[in-house]
Amino acid sequence: MTQTQPNVVKLLKPFGIDETIVSIKNFGNGHINDTLKVETVNNCYILQRINHLIFTDVDKLQHNIEIVTSHIRQKLEETGEKDIMRKVLIFLPTNQGKTYYFDGENYWRVCHFIDNSCSYDEITPPLSYEAGKAFGKFQKLLSDIPDGTLTETIPNFHNMEFRLKQFYEALQNGQPNRIEEVKNLIDAIEQRASHYCLQEKLYREGKLIKRINHCDTKVNNILFDSQTNEVLCVIDLDTVMPGFVLSDFGDFIRTAGNTGAEDDPNLDRVGINLNIVKAYAKGYMEEAHSFLTDTERDLLPYGAALLTYMQTVRFLTDYLNGDTYYKIQYPTHNLVRTKAQFKLLQSIETHLEDIASFINA
């Protein structure tokens, strides 16, 4: 999506915000939506442009988010939680009663900025433990939403068979010079393809269930209190939908449990950080042991590898297609990301037993 500077004053009006704006800042480093922090004389908001080329049904997307946030709010109220304003996102309705506004070209939404909060791209083991509890609790809080209530905001989002289908299509229709350039990576992906389609197979056999997942458990999708580092809430709710539980364990390990960056050009820096994984597994299991099936628990280490494999495939597919999905900062960005994810995958694959021991501790 090309980005022109939005007219923030005009965009906030439908949400009933008519205050003098003090500052507007680009915020976050997500690959899909555009996020702005808008400070007015009295308040602070997050204004987001929703990427409707990816989330094609914005009405359903926001409906999902409204169900999720009100469900969590109700649960927090029932348990007498304090400071609820900072523990679940509040999206503002427009004068049309929707939590989004279409300006004729783009879709926008506004939520309250959570005061004194911060997110991290890299964390320490104590914070990883807190994050594990937060994502485990998030799944637990949503576990009683009846089947069929939430829609898949991106169909087949974490379906490995579908992601491989897209990859094979890119091998047919993608940029020939790029396909030639990455022959070794293509081979490595193909060799692992059937191993990483186990979830779909088990689901068909009735051995694995679907439940509500966050599906984007990147470490920067948790807000911490900037003074105490207490977890405040889980954010970035676009992909909360039915899926396999491995997604939420795996994607956190993929992002936080990496000694390097997701797009690290120096592969020597990339590898699994077992201290982070151990702490996350402890926190996550404290919350999740009550609802995980034996099969799900046994597959968690595989989930860490799977989500890293999936991301390798997705970045490479986008590279072969000419960078149509993820925002990039330079022409080979998706290739650099692919190589870094593949290096991480190899590292995780050699530590599956360690991860299992943390889960079963």
Is there binding between residue 54 and ligand GN1 (CB under 6 A)? Answer: yes
Nearer to ligand GN1, 215 or 300 (CB): 215
Nearer to Mg ion, 34 or 287 (CB): 34
Nearer to ligand ADP, 13 or 112 (CB): 112
Give the binding site for ligand ADP (CB under 6 A). 27-28, 30, 32-33, 35, 46, 89, 111, 113-114, 117, 119, 220-221, 223, 235-236
Tell me the C-alpha distance between 172 and 72, whole Å: 44
Nearer to Mg ion, 127 or 359 (CB): 127
Q: What are phi and psi of 242, to 5 degrees?
A: -65, 140
- What beta strand segments (E) does 179-272 contain? 211-213, 222-225, 231-234, 241-243
**CA-based nearest residue to 46, from 118, 112, 107:** 112
Give 26's strand partners: 36
Is there binding between residue 261 and ligand GN1 (CB under 6 A)? Answer: no
Cα distances (Å, whole numbers) of residue 35 to 50, 68, 84, 93, 187: 9, 20, 23, 18, 37
Name which of Mg ion, ligand GN1, ligand ADP, none residue 233 binds, using a CB cut-off of 5 to 8 Å depending on partner kind: none
Q: What are phi and psi of 266, to 5 degrees?
A: -100, 100
Instruction: With beta carbons less than 8 A apart as the criterion, state whether 86 and 231 touch.
Output: no
**In angstroms, what is the minimal distance from the CB of 118 to Mg ion?**
13
For 329, how many CA atoms within 13 A lie in the half-sphere containing its CB? 6
Per-residue binder mask for Mg ion (CB under 5 A), 313-352, x = binder: ----------------------------------------
Nearer to ligand GN1, 128 or 217 (CB): 217
**In angstroms, what is the minimal distance from the CB of 32 to ligand GN1?**
4
Tell me the C-alpha distance between 105 and 89, whole Å: 25
**Using CB under 5 A, which of 64, 153, 199, 221 touches Mg ion?**
221
104 backbone φψ class: left, alpha, beta (φ>0; ψ -120 to 50) = left
Is there binding between residue 262 and Mg ion (CB under 5 A)? Answer: no
Q: Strand, coil or helix: what is 42? A: coil
**In angstroms, what is the minimal distance from the CB of 121 to ligand GN1?**
11
**Using CB under 6 A, which of 49, 136, 235, 236 touches ligand GN1?**
236
Tell me the C-alpha distance between 129 and 144, whole Å: 24
Total residues contacting Mg ion by CB under 5 A comes to: 3
Give contact residues for ligand GN1 (rule: CB under 6 A).
30-32, 54, 216, 218, 236, 239, 262, 311
